[in-house]
Structure 1
Amino acid sequence: MTPSEAKFIAYIGSSIYSETCQWMVACILYGAFLIPAILAIYLFLENGLQGYRRKIIFSVLILVVLVATWNYLPAFAIPLIMVKFDTRAEESVVAENVAINPWLDQISWPSIITLLISDGIVAWRAWVIWPGSKIIQYTLITLMFGNIVLNLAGNIFQNVQMDFVTSNSLSMVAIFISLGVNITATAMIGLKIWYHHRTTRILHWSKKRTFSPAGRILLLLVESGALFCIVQLITAILNILNNYTALLSSLQFAYLILIQFFLGLTSIYPMVIMILISLDQSALDETFQHDNGGTINTPSPTIPT
């Protein structure tokens, strides 16, 4: 066996190992996604679809399920195609690449659509609880508009095989714009829960509760949003480092696995928010429900409009 042949076999082995690990992670995450997805659909149907707002939210929920399923189909199909080829011959490797390329071309679009929907839901949550602040609403609109344009442009440039530097730069900027949307929206929800807690804690003091019912829902939104931001930040950093690392290195392997985890999280996160909405309808409104069935109108802190 010549050194070049040994190097080729080692490369094939590393590639198969990497693909197998990604496939296993994708299968696990899709299974983890189906659980909250089924629960969210069940809760929405049980509570009814009265009103245009609930119908819109339910339509978005179904769209996320369909797009997420589309996203995982290539992950399931590619390994099944790869096992049909003898990777010991270079000609078979070329034929394998030709066979899986149509599936690879489909991977980016569903993941981008899911990410944009997830970002839009987070921005919508912040928008709903700050109905009177124009500066927050304009900030969210601007960030989401830039997020949509850059993600779509980066993916189009990548698919038409334009200049690598241009498409890669757009993808980099899109990642951080998406991160900016999530950080801004999560921070705005966090500010709202702080002010809401400050104005309602006396009412719940006798019941020895740290947060009101609506406050706990908002707290869950902040905690889940913070987790999403942390994972997205780590993914963005590894994306940058991945451009300067060797092919199939340990860093690239970690990046590919984290990408699968992040894509799974972008599908699961909207389901979590949908479940929270179904469990406590007061989180949808400008008022917060009290345990006795009444409402407490919570004034917003002073923010320039």
Structure 2
Amino acid sequence: MSLFNFHSSTLLYRVISIICQTLVYGIYSCLFPISVYVMLYVKLYNRSRMVLFVTMVITFALSTIYWVLSVVVTFLVIRAWFSELDPATHSAPTWLPMLSAILLVNLIVTDGVVVWRAWVICSDVNKAILMTPVLAYFLLCFSYVTVVAARVGLLITPEGAQSHQDLARIIDVAQVGNLALSLLTNVLATSIIAVKSWMYRKSLISYNVRGQTSTLASKVMGLLVESGMLYILIGATVLASCVIRLPFGTLGDIITPVGVQLAVRAAFLRSPTAVLIP
């Protein structure tokens, strides 16, 4: 196929991805002030609530920057590929992909909240079991650092060099690893909370407890499990999309950026409800 077909197909993927990103980001932009109000309403008296509040604000800010960068890069690509300007002088800055990779710390932050929340809620669970999502999370962090380091290497390596191609392959593998490890982290942490919730409900039935606080805690844990299952489904979909080939690239090129915006869902959906558990 011609270079024009490649550029037009790539641009089409970008536009579809941005439209989906915008829809998701718009929903959370509406939910953000509501989430802030809920968290401030219950008062940020302890460290746990303060950490969740700060995490929610940071992830929303990072998602905003990521969305803006996606739009800017798309306009730069249009100008470079489909105008009469010289692509060599009007292409997107080479540092933009690295900045986008750095902004993917959104996934690291939200997955860290999931692991931390599992430790808080399930502190009485066997520590060896609680360490499994922690180990997966540390591997995720290592994979993320690998992507950023490889992006830096691309900036200082000549484009035609063999090392440049090797770094590009490392990035491709590490990015898929990020998705797989993020999914594994959420599966392990959500499973632990789900077992804890089931045991808690079982104890209520055994002791015939009917207190309002106990009922509220049970409902909140149930909501955390349900939101975790939804996030796992989203993660599995994004990971599967990376192996579905398109004429140029994979379906993951469209869906993965949307997954970055969906990562904010973890902070929004978990934080306002999780603060109800001391």
If the TM-score is normalised by the length of the shorter chain, which range does it land in?
0.7 to 0.9
Identity of aligned residues (%): 16
Q: Is the contact between residue 7 and residue 81 of structure 2 (CA under 8 Å) also seen in structure 1?
A: no
Unaligned runs of at least 5 residues, structure 2: 155-163
Amino acid of the structure 2 residue aligned with 1:258:
I
What amino acid is aligned across from residue 68 of structure 2 in structure 1? L
Post-superposition shift, 1:116?
0.7
AA aligned to 2:116 is: W
SS of residue in 2 equivalent to 1:201: helix
Partner of 2:267: 270
Residue number in structure 2 paired with 1:301: none
Amino acid at match of 1:154: V
What is the CA–CA distance in structure 1 between the aligned matches of 2:227 and 2:46, rounded to whole Å? 27
The aligned counterpart of 1:62 is 57
Encode CA deviations 1:24-56: one digit per residue, 9 max, x unaligned. 122212112212322221222222222333223
CA contact (8 A) 2:106 2:263 kept: yes
Structure 1 alignment gaps of length 5 or more: 285-305
Bigger CA radius of gyration: 1
C-alpha deviation, 1:146, in angstroms: 1.8
Greater length-normalized contact order (CA 8 Å, ≥ 6 residues apart): 2
Cross-structure match for 1:110 = 103
Matches within 5 A, 1:1-305: 7-85=2-80, 87=82, 92-97=86-91, 99-111=92-104, 113-132=105-124, 133-161=126-154, 163=166, 164-201=168-205, 212-239=215-242, 241=243, 245=245, 247-248=247-248, 252=250, 254-278=251-275, 281=276, 283-284=277-278
Contact 2:110 2:264 in 1 (8 A): yes
**CA–CA distance in 2 between the matches of 1:27 and 1:246?**
23
What is the TM-score when the length of structure 2 is the normalising length?
0.83
Amino acid at match of 2:40: L
Deviation at 1:189, TM superposition (A): 0.8
Q: How far apart in 1 are the matches of 2:59 and 2:198?
A: 31
Please say if residues 190 and 222 of structure 1, whose CA atoms lie closer than 8 Å, have aligned partners that are also in contact. Answer: yes
**Per-residue CA distance 1:265-285 (angstroms, 9 max, x = gap):** 11122111012124xx2x34x
CA-based RMSD of the aligned residues comes to 2.8
1:76 match: secondary structure: helix
Relative to the length of structure 1, the TM-score reads 0.76
Q: Distance in 1 between matches of 2:232 and 2:20?
A: 20
Change over 3 Å in CA distance of 1:174–1:22 after alignment to 2: closer
Alpha-carbon offset, residue 137 of structure 1:
2.9
Contact 2:21 2:257 in 1 (8 A): yes
Alignment: residue pair count: 265
